[in-house]
Amino acid sequence: MKWIILLFIAITWFSTTQAVAASCEHVLTDCLQSDVRWASCFEDRVVSCRQSRIRPPNFIKQMMNSSQEVEVSPTLKHRLHIPSSALQRGRRNVSDEEVQVVATVINSTYFKLWTPRQGRGRMFIPTVPAHRQGTVMGGLVLAVMVGNSPLRNLSQPVKLTFKKTYNNSSKQKQRGECVYWEELNDGTGYWSIDGCDTSDHGTESICSCNHLSFFAVLVNPVLSVDEIHSVSLTYITYIGSALSVFFTVISLFIYICLQRRRPEKAISVHMHLTGALFCLHLSFLLCSFWVLRLKENEESRVCQFLGLFLHWSLLATFSWMALEGFHLYLLLVRVFNIYVSRYLLKLSMVGWGFPTVIAVVCGISGVYGKYSLQMNDTKNHSLTAEICWLNSSFPQMLVVSFITNVAFPCLVILYNSCMLGLVMFKLWGIRGGSGGTESSSGRKEMNKEKRSRLWKDCATLLGLSCVLGLPWGLASTTYISLPGIYVFTILNSLQGVFMFIWSMALTCKSRSDRNSSIRDPSSQKMMTTSFNN
């Protein structure tokens, strides 16, 4: 009797499993009804189901040779190309020659997008990578499975081709982006772009992805609010840097003309700082646009050289900003006995020599390459930016970056802030000591003169702040608020424009002082001191 009961249970279990395995056309329906995470349920059951005589429409499931590349088309608008390396990873045993491949299309209405939930006065937001919102092209999602387990981080990407669909009313070309479905624990999910690249070939979109999942093409994808700010800041940076390159070239010509008229050491220092700013903004643009030509995980000698050039330019810029503060110290504190033999040569050895030594040492160590920055926005979405800079995979990259790009600029900004405070103290002393008894009729003119001096002093301090690089100190505000990020980006991307304004102010000052010296020759000495300041 005992053996009969066990045999009955075994027959019942076997017939049940066979019935379930034989109904591939019912896997999607069963998962939608019985399981919250229906996408994971579908991936688990579809690889073990058996096809009946009535094959589901747009459904491919067959054993294929793992040593050859596979190309299948579940529909007329979907084509799939799987490299042999991905097929070999999907085998159960190394000795197996064949591997199971499943490819089908699913209606996009089954994919429920995740939305933040409110609870007890605060929003519960899980950690979600970079995602997109938009309309699924054709309303169909392509599901691809190889073997019995999910495949990730493929050495060769899987290529999926989606033929574009157009509106019946117009043949207007639509922008598409390849995405895959990432399911959350509650059954909802989001369309992610991680690991997928999009190639537009006119009538079709080709997706190259390093994993297997549910894939689709979003038509006219909508950026999130934080991604919109990221794009806006990127355009501000590019436009500001382009303007800085243009205006620093003009400023160099202005300084050269001023230097020929009256050779002053202050003009030479400004000229070197302007040249460093020109190199900085030019190298930034080159590094930003060249990295777009590189493929994923690809390195090039050109990118390494551009990273060295950008690092060298940044160090040179801060070095000359520090030398501007040092020269200002000599003019204000040590007004007398400031003659130094080969003064400009010694400054140049520090301003250009120090960055060169650091860049050469870092270049020999192999520090430079493609740098990938992973940022989390206010909604914990991941945003990735790449540039030719310090190589992210270099072991000591963080140490080199902190010393040369954080510690050194902070010391320069601190030193130049002290110099600016000294300038304010000197101006306050000069303005405070220039008082006197005035009649009631001359008080109005005195007040106008004070207001005029006040505006001139404010303009001088503002100009000196830009020359000394103090706007870089606003980097601390980028961790506090979004307006701080915009202010920091605008001010520092337009440094070349500010240097141009400063050069124009020096030109106007030179002309006015030259005219006053013609009328009053005794003011020639005062003109020289004022011009140097």
Count of other CB atoms within 10 angstroms of residue 426? 14
Whole-angstrom distance, CA of residue 141 vs CA of residue 128: 21
Backbone angles phi, psi at 225, to 5 degrees: -60, -45
Give me the pLDDT at residue 126, please. 38
Environment class of 423 (CB within 10 Å of its CB; exposed 0-12, middle 13-18, buried 19+):
buried
Give me the pLDDT at residue 253, please. 93
Q: What is the DSSP letter of 407?
A: I
Give me the pLDDT at residue 379, please. 44
Distance of CA 102 to the CA centre of its chain: 37
Q: Are 237 and 165 within 8 A, CB to CB?
A: no
Per-residue pLDDT of the chain (533 residues; tens, 9 = 90+): 554 444 444 444 434 444 445 468 788 888 888 767 888 888 888 888 877 766 677 888 888 888 888 899 999 899 999 998 889 888 888 778 888 899 999 998 888 887 644 333 333 333 444 566 778 888 899 999 998 778 888 888 999 999 887 654 444 456 688 999 988 887 888 888 888 888 887 788 899 998 898 999 988 655 555 666 777 888 899 999 999 999 999 999 999 988 888 778 888 999 999 999 999 999 999 998 888 777 655 667 888 899 999 999 999 999 999 999 888 888 776 655 566 788 899 999 999 999 999 999 999 988 898 887 655 444 444 456 678 888 877 777 778 888 888 899 999 999 988 888 887 787 777 665 555 455 555 565 656 666 666 666 666 777 777 788 888 887 766 655 678 788 888 888 999 998 898 888 878 766 665 555 444 444 333 333 333 43
Please state, in angstroms and as integers, the Cα–Cα distance from residue 83 to each residue in 144, 161, 482, following that order. Answer: 13, 14, 45
Q: Are 425 and 328 within 8 A, CB to CB?
A: no
Helices and strands in the chain: count of H runs, count of E runs: 15, 16
Environment class of 217 (CB within 10 Å of its CB; exposed 0-12, middle 13-18, buried 19+):
buried
Count of other CB atoms within 10 angstroms of residue 305? 16
Give me the pLDDT at residue 527, please. 33
Q: What is the DSSP letter of 113?
A: B
Helix (H, G, I), strand (E, B) or coil at 185: coil
66: Cα within 13 Å, side-chain hemisphere: 18
Q: Are 488 and 517 within 8 A, CB to CB?
A: no
**DSSP alpha helix (H) spans, 22-149:** 27-34, 38-46, 84-89
Please state, in angstroms and as integers, the Cα–Cα distance from residue 463 to each residue in 109, 417, 459, 501, following that order. Answer: 59, 13, 6, 8
CATH superfamily of 227-432+451-532: Rhodopsin 7-helix transmembrane proteins (1.20.1070.10)
pLDDT in tens, 418-470: 888 887 787 777 665 555 455 555 565 656 666 666 666 666 777 777 788 88
**DSSP alpha helix (H) spans, 223-342:** 225-261, 265-290, 301-332
Whole-angstrom distance, CA of residue 528 vs CA of residue 506: 12
pLDDT in tens, 196-237: 888 887 788 899 998 898 999 988 655 555 666 777 888 899
Shortest CA distance to 416 belongs to which of 329, 511, 519?
329
Q: What is the DSSP letter of 403?
A: I
Torsion of CA 83, 85, 87, 89, to 10 degrees: -150
Whole-angstrom distance, CA of residue 499 vs CA of residue 272: 12
Q: Are 531 and 510 within 8 A, CB to CB?
A: yes
Count of other CB atoms within 10 angstroms of residue 260? 9
Tokens of 80: 């799939």
Where do the domains of the chain lie?
Answer: 26-117+124-222, 227-432+451-532
Backbone angles phi, psi at 370, to 5 degrees: -85, 130
Backbone angles phi, psi at 297, to 5 degrees: 60, 25
Q: Are 306 and 287 within 8 A, CB to CB?
A: yes
Q: Which fold has domain 26-117+124-222?
A: Chondroitinase Ac; Chain A, domain 3 (2.60.220)
Whole-angstrom distance, CA of residue 13 vs CA of residue 438: 111
User: How large is the angle between the packed helices 38-46 and 27-34, nearest 10 degrees?
Assistant: 140
Buried b (16+ CB within 10 A) or exposed e, 469-502: bbbbbbbeeeeeeeeebbebbbbbbbbbbbbbbb
Backbone angles phi, psi at 471, to 5 degrees: -60, -20
